Amino acid sequence: MTAVDLPFPDTDLSRDGLAGVPTTDEPQNRKEYTSDQEVRWCPGCGDYAVLAAVQGFLPDLGLKRENIVFVSGIGCSSRFPYYLDTYGMHSIHGRAPAIATGLAITRPDLSTWVVTGDGDALSIGGNHLIHALRRNVNLTILLFNNRIYGLTKGQYSPTSETGKVTKSTPAGSVDTPFNPVSLALGAEATFVARTVDNDRKHLTAVLSAAAAHRGTSLVEIFQNCPIFNDGAFEAFKGKGAAESALIPLEHGHAIRFGPDGSRGVARDTATGGVRVVGVGGDDGIDESDLLVHDAHADDPTTAFALSRLTDAGVLTQAPIGIFRQVERPTYDDLTRQQIDTATGTSGRGDLAALLAGKDTWAVGEPRG
Amino acid sequence: MSKQVKQLDRVIIRFAGDSGDGMQLTGDRFTAETAAFGNDLSTLPNFPAEIRAPQGTMAGVSSFQVHFADHDILTPGDAPDVLVAMNPAALRANLKDVPRGSTIIVDTHDFGARNLAKAGYTEDPLEDGTLDPYNLHPVDLTTLTVEAIKELGLSRKDASRAKNMFALGLLSWMYGRPTEPTLEFLSTRFGAKPVLRDANITAFHTGWNYGETTEAFAVRYEIKPAEMAAGRYRNITGNAALSYGLIAASQQSGLPLFLGAYPITPASEVLHELSKHKSFGVTTFQAEDEIAGVGAALGASFGGALGVTTTSGPGVSLKSETIGLAVMLELPLLVCDIQRGGPSTGLPTKTEQSDLLQAMFGRNGEAPVPVVAPQSPVDCFDAAIEAARIAITYRTPVIVLSDGYLANGSEPWQLPDVADLPVIDPAFEVSDPSANADTGEPFQPYARDPETLARPWALPGTPGLMHRIGGLEKKDGTGEISYDPDNHDLMVRARQAKVDAVADALPDTIVDDPDGDARLLVLGWGSTYGPIGAGVRRVRRDGLKVAQVHVRHLNPLPRDLGDILARYERVVVPEMNLGQLAMLVRAKYLVDARSHTQVHGLPFKAAGLAEVLREHLRDLGDVPPANTDPEQPGRKSPATTPDVIA
């Protein structure tokens, strides 16, 4: 078996997730992105906030609206495409990344988005998610994580904490949950971020960066289900609480949080990972010893260590922001490049020559 | 030495050896020579699922049968006239198929106690009289090969690997095959390895010369080229023909071809073949699983490509939910099922027709899908184009039911004129903003064409036609989510009516009933076309009358099929399953169809089918005329000689 070196695709393409998608100078507004369908999520659902953020943010991209496609799977969040006046497909459970992959490979002129949930993406569709990430198809995946099955009325999900009592686990769930960010990093993802449904500004900033990234962008969105898992993200609600529980990751900045920046993240030399530390004062470390976040590091080790600061059980603390953002050629660019190269070197195929192949003989003519 | 030359009208040769002996290659090369010579031919490769089963065992035996003739033939033949056995296991595994009096050429090299025991022989069959009823040629092919090429300095093991080319050379001499195609092939294949090239070429020549010079082989045979329609021909397997049909369909529709597939026997060759043709704008996506393969194909179809997935039975099971989604989305999608023995993993390398009911009904809900089945390796080309025509015209998934026998079997193909291939119009919906502005009516993605009942296909990127589709029930016209009871009833019936409407545009069914007064009709589908046709010829040669119908469209069945079946006193349906088409026609037409079934993982034999038909005819009171008139009606053509057996 042999391997060949693949030429790196066009540099502009490799840096811009929206390159190749037609733009417009016409001003756009939120209303144009709102479909005529009645939104049918439960009152208080975190999905409303995300929908509003997306409808408010899409006009800023300046893309032709008809060149935007949202593909979803099954679950509460997967109703999302119905409420956006773009092209959309509400597909089947877990398969949206696979369907979007076929679309993205064949249509570089589209901005292709996937909307999925924790059950859809991490349970029934786990295989498609990890393979989309490793291939680095030019997709933006919004993973709504409410840590529960909502549409089927309240069973535990692959992100529910161990011991969770639900209709299907009256004695407590014995499953160990997935950490979606750790999973994505392990699956060779080039863009991994996390945000929360109730921080419109942060949500919009992360989505903008995700859309601009060429390759698969995975954005985990902590999203509250008020009916079946209300309060899962209570630790992050309210200004004071958020300040103490959310660890903001900003590229090039020391990782610092808490009241008056009293806490931060530093390397843990004992484990090779990272740990939360106090900053300043008698017990704290020096500010200059804090870890400076490097989202562009080629090595994902530190990003993975940061992802482990997320509680596996009841959430009291979690980093948010962009964990990792690196450049790597995308599957779809490389695939199209191979086709272009084949067409370019040997010209567009000749069907008659293909059908004949190399070995033909004639009947009804003198034999040679 | 001048050798006797005997004329034959047809011959069946089977090459058999260990999986590592190169029997498939040997058969392929003999076939290429035979095609170049101008005989009609048909082939049957038969190999185990294991890549290298333990050497010398029955489990590891691989064989390749080729039937060639001076006239038009339909099958790879029932029983070999010549068996080439490269070891004891190959002899033992194949001997039961060889009629007494046939020729057996054996490589005696491996007939030591150990290999005899591995094959399950307690006595040496070359010595104990087992092979007395045959025309046996024991030859130490291996030693002759090693001796012939010893000057090339290869190890004994490497040298012995060229023994298949010795066998090919010998058989090529016996049947007067042209040598150029093989020499050219070996030069190209081993171009980078001159020692191996020379070893194989020398072995081939040595085998040829062995036949010519030794007294053991006193007779050469001549099989004249077949009368075939004028034109240019090539030899082709079903999987290659299917691949080319898909590329042709892409070209004829203007839709880029997108294949999403997961490797599976016996469908992988289509993935391999299409991967080579990027210059036709073909995208191949080797997916993480069967579900992703069909999902990506459907996604590509949504974007305006010709989305295709290729698989076998177990893969279709995994794809069922996505095929159902395609039914609901009403988007074109081709699902090519290269059937194999089932259930479960079953017999991966063997053939069967047991996915018909899965193709028809293997989805939740009322999810009708058109089904098209090719009837010969060459026909896979046309079937692929026809399936694409239906998928694109009616906006529906279509299942193509090929099988292992068609996939790997080969036959000569009269090359079509590309200019004569049908044109397929995708008829995309294009935006018309001015019209929109006038009426203020939003786009209706589920409006229907009055004739085909197909919905509009509006591609992302088209201004003014933004819409959402999905697996939830659609409201008629608007495509919005609808749980309305009457609307669901309407839409379930509309999807069924659309698939039924495919039959409106189908040509009349061909009934092969030469006098129009047969009382027995044999009905088949798919790869049984050859064996059934050959069986029918045999029965007609007895002076008996039997009609034959072979259906290509399994869903919807042709409009005229019910009337045709009703015209016959008896309908027999031979199938390589337990009676799936028989069940369908009994249910649909209330006809007392008699099922004849076989699930050996191998195609029917013509002789066996002929006997089944004769039995039904006896039952109906039809007996052969006392003196068979060579000019009797029902014969294919008066020019055919009386001993022609297809």
User: Is pLDDT at A368 greater than 70 in this prediction?
Assistant: no
**Is B591 in the same domain as B531?**
yes
Q: How confident is the model at residue B1 (pLDDT cuts 50, 70, 90)?
A: low
Instruction: Give B96 to chain A, closest Cα distance, Å.
Output: 35
User: Is pLDDT at B631 greater than 60 in this prediction?
Assistant: no
User: Is pLDDT at B549 greater than 80 in this prediction?
Assistant: yes
Mean of pLDDT values over A230-241: 87
CB contact, 8 Å: B285 with chain A? yes
Picking from B420, B440, B455, the residue at the C-terminal end of a domain is B420
Q: How confident is the model at residue B639 (pLDDT cuts 50, 70, 90)?
A: very low
User: Is pLDDT at B637 greater than 80 in this prediction?
Assistant: no
User: Is pLDDT at B434 greater than 60 in this prediction?
Assistant: no
**Is B472 in the same domain as B550?**
no
Picking from B448, B472, B505, the residue at the C-terminal end of a domain is B505
- What does the alpha-carbon distance between residue B283 and residue B258 come to, in Å, rounded to a whole number? 5
Q: What CATH number has the domain bearing residue B581?
A: 3.40.50.920
User: Is pLDDT at B598 greater than 80 in this prediction?
Assistant: yes
Instruction: Give A6 to chain B, closest Cα distance, Å.
Output: 16
A106 neighbourhood in chain B, CB within 8 Å: 256, 258, 283, 299-300, 303-305
Residue of B nearest to A127 (CA): B288
What's the pLDDT score for residue B442? Answer: 86
CB contact, 8 Å: A353 with chain B? no
Burial of B485 (0-12, 13-18, 19+ CB in 10 A): exposed
Output phi, psi for A258, to 5 deg: 85, 170
Q: Are A81 and A51 in contact (CB under 8 A)?
A: no
B38 neighbourhood in chain A, CB within 8 Å: 361, 363, 367
What's the pLDDT score for residue B265? Answer: 96
CB contact (8 A) between residue B296 and residue A105: yes
**Is B333 in the same domain as B256?**
yes
Whether residue B645 is contained in a domain is answered as no
Instruction: Give A154 to chain B, closest Cα distance, Å.
Output: 21
Q: Are B476 and B487 in contact (CB under 8 A)?
A: yes
CB contact, 8 Å: A347 with chain B? yes
Of residues B233, B279, B302, nearest to A103 (C-beta) = B302
Tokens of A142: 């919004």
Count structural domains, chain B.
4
Whether residue B160 is contained in a domain is answered as yes
Whether residue B333 is contained in a domain is answered as yes
Q: How confident is the model at residue A10 (pLDDT cuts 50, 70, 90)?
A: low
pTM, entire model: 0.93
CB contact (8 A) between residue A363 and residue B228: yes
Interhelix angle for B290-302 vs A96-106, to 10°?
50
Whether residue B242 is contained in a domain is answered as yes
| Full strand arrangement of the beta sheet holding B306-311 | B283-286, B257-261, B306-311, B333-339, B397-403, B371-372, B553-555
Interhelix angle for A200-212 vs A46-61, to 10°?
50
**Is B125 in the same domain as B256?**
no
Q: Are B139 and B166 in contact (CB under 8 A)?
A: no
Chain A interface test: which of B279, B301, B322, B436 (most A C-beta within 10 Å): B279
A335 neighbourhood in chain B, CB within 8 Å: 283, 285
User: Per-residue pLDDT tens for A88-100?
Assistant: 999 999 999 999 9
Tokens of B30: 């003999």
CB contact (8 A) between residue B256 and residue A107: no
End-to-end Cα, chain B, rounded Å: 35
Of residues B225, B460, B466, nearest to A85 (C-beta) = B466
User: Per-residue pLDDT tens for B282-308?
Assistant: 999 999 999 999 999 999 999 999 999
**Is B167 in the same domain as B276?**
no
**Is B497 in the same domain as B525?**
no
Of residues A35, A82, A95, nearest to B322 (C-beta) = A95
User: Per-residue pLDDT tens for A324-340?
Assistant: 999 999 999 999 999 99
Of residues A91, A363, A364, nearest to B470 (C-beta) = A91
> In terms of Cα–Cα distance, which of A331, A75, A89 is closest to A189?
A331
- What does the alpha-carbon distance between residue A103 and residue A88 come to, in Å, rounded to a whole number? 11
User: Is pLDDT at B244 greater than 50 in this prediction?
Assistant: yes
**Is B78 in the same domain as B173?**
yes
User: Is pLDDT at B388 greater than 60 in this prediction?
Assistant: yes
Mean of pLDDT values over B431-450: 75
Of residues A37, A95, A362, nearest to B295 (C-beta) = A95
Picking from B376, B400, B420, the residue at the C-terminal end of a domain is B420
Q: How confident is the model at residue A265 (pLDDT cuts 50, 70, 90)?
A: very high
**Is B186 in the same domain as B50?**
yes
Q: How confident is the model at residue A15 (pLDDT cuts 50, 70, 90)?
A: low
What's the pLDDT score for residue B431? Answer: 75
- Amino acid symbol at B166: F
**Is B164 in the same domain as B250?**
no
Mean of pLDDT values over B581-606: 97
> In terms of Cα–Cα distance, which of B621, B614, B639 is closest to B540?
B614
Whether residue B626 is contained in a domain is answered as no
**Is B536 in the same domain as B473?**
no
Whether residue B510 is contained in a domain is answered as no
CB contact (8 A) between residue A95 and residue B442: no
Mean of pLDDT values over B219-240: 94
B225 neighbourhood in chain A, CB within 8 Å: 363
Higher pLDDT, A113 or B54: A113
Q: Which domain range does residue B361 map to?
A: 233-420
**Is B321 in the same domain as B416?**
yes
Q: How confident is the model at residue B635 (pLDDT cuts 50, 70, 90)?
A: very low
Q: Could you tell me if the ipTM is greater than 0.90?
A: yes
Mean of pLDDT values over B214-232: 91
What's the pLDDT score for residue B440? Answer: 65
Q: What CATH number has the domain bearing residue B212?
A: 3.40.920.10
What's the pLDDT score for residue A11? Answer: 47
Whether residue B481 is contained in a domain is answered as yes
CB contact (8 A) between residue A81 and residue B470: yes
Helix, strand, coil percentages in chain A from 3-state DSSP, rounded to 5: 35, 20, 45
Range of weakest confidence among A10-24, B246-260, B581-595: A10-24
Of residues A88, A107, A335, nearest to B468 (C-beta) = A88
What's the pLDDT score for residue A363? Answer: 83
What's the pLDDT score for residue B567? Answer: 97
- Amino acid symbol at A276: V
**Is B547 in the same domain as B438?**
no
User: Is pLDDT at B626 greater than 70 in this prediction?
Assistant: no
What's the pLDDT score for residue B101? Answer: 94
Instruction: Give B245 to chain A, closest Cα distance, Å.
Output: 9
Q: What CATH number has the domain bearing residue B328?
A: 3.40.50.970
CA contacts within 13 A on the Cβ side of A53? 21
Burial of B197 (0-12, 13-18, 19+ CB in 10 A): middle
Burial of B533 (0-12, 13-18, 19+ CB in 10 A): buried
Instruction: Give B613 to chain A, closest Cα distance, Å.
Output: 35
What's the pLDDT score for residue A300? Answer: 97
What is the percentage of chain A residues whose pLDDT exceeds 70? 96
CB contact (8 A) between residue B296 and residue A99: yes
Residue of A nearest to B482 (CA): A37
Q: Are B365 and B324 in contact (CB under 8 A)?
A: yes
What is the percentage of chain B residues whose pLDDT exceeds 90? 90
A110 neighbourhood in chain B, CB within 8 Å: 303, 460-461
For A347: left if phi > 0, alpha if psi spans -120 to 50, otherwise beta; the answer is left
Whether residue B644 is contained in a domain is answered as no
Provide the mean pLDDT of chain A. 93
CB contact, 8 Å: A362 with chain B? yes
